[in-house]
Every structure is written in C-alpha cells, then in structure tokens.
Amino acid sequence: MTAIAGTPTTYQGNDKLLYGIILGVITFWLFAQTTLNIAPAMQKDLGLDASMMNIAVAITALFSGIFIVVIGGLADRIGRVKTVQIGFYLSIIGSLLIAIAPTGSMATGFLLVGRALQGVSAACIMPASLALVKAYWDGPARQRAVSLWSIGSWGGSGVCSLFGGLVADNIGWRYIFF
C-alpha cells in the first residue's frame, strides 16, 4: 500500500491477524473459564474450604468488571495492541501463580492473586481485541471479523471448558495453567 506524502497509511486486517486475535482470546478463556469446571478438584488438591474456592472462582469476573472501563481508557491512550499484550502477560502470570499454588495455607494467596490477575487480563484482552477488530476491518469484512471474534470468544469459552475438563481428568488440573 502506498501513501501520499502527509497522509497516514492505514492498516487493513487480514485472516492471519484475525485468527491470531481469536486464538489469543481463546487462550484467555482456557486459563480463566476452566476453573468453573475444575473447582472441586482444585479445592480438594489445595486443601481449601468451599467458600474460599467460590471466592476464587468469582474474583475473576469481579476484577474484570471493576477494571474494564479504566483499562478501556488506558487502551485509548497507550494503544490497543499494547493493552492486549499486557492482558496476555497478566493472564500468563496469573495462570502460573495458580499452577504453582502450594497446598495448604499459602494456596489461598496464590489462587486469589492469580484469579484477580486473570480478571484484570480479561479487562485488557476482551474490549481491546474487539476494538482492534473494529479498527482493522471495514464493511462486510468487519461484519465477518466481528462474527468470527464473537464465535471464538464466546464459543471458545465452552470449548475451553471441555478441553480443560479433559486435561484435568487425564493429567491433572495444574497442567491447564502451564
């Protein structure tokens, strides 16, 4: 694409970028959503009581809701790509904290901080990735891109729950988060 002097070059999204965005969103869901299904196994393995495990499950949505507007404004200032990248890093850190959570009294801290980081990562990833899709595609291509993002995002949560359950049953719940 050539640009006339003084006019900015615009970027047009392609399928490779779209599928990368969708895979990133699905990866987030794998780390965050599967906890709903594997909570009993995690609770037993970590030695937590049911009320603490329920808090750990809920804290991701709580932190996502608290930070989504603030991070949306941040994405407008620092850039959507950078915001999505920060979200991926937070998701990885949160997931690793969960994966290495020790059994016993320290498990609560690892689990709650990990799940809270996953919530902040959702506040980074979900709106900023959708904004990228809306920015990089126009017309019918945008409709297709938003549809595929939606399928990957919300459909991915179901697929990831199934996949996470299979991993937890066959090799252990911690392997989901590595």
The span from the CA of 24 to the CA of 84, in Å, is 9
Q: Which helix (H) or strand (E) holds 88?
A: helix 80-99
pTM value is 0.87
Query: By three-state DSSP, how is residue 137 classified?
Result: coil
Q: What percentage of the chain reaches a pLDDT higher than 90?
A: 69
pLDDT by residue (tens digit) across 164-178? 889 999 999 999 888
- Across the chain, mean pLDDT equals 90
pLDDT by residue (tens digit) across 19-59? 999 988 888 888 778 888 899 999 999 999 999 999 999 99
At the top level of CATH, the class of 17-177 is mainly alpha
pLDDT above 70: residue 5: no
The span from the CA of 108 to the CA of 126, in Å, is 27
Helix, strand, coil percentages in the chain from 3-state DSSP, rounded to 5: 85, 0, 15
Q: Tokens 């949560």 sit at which residue?
A: 157
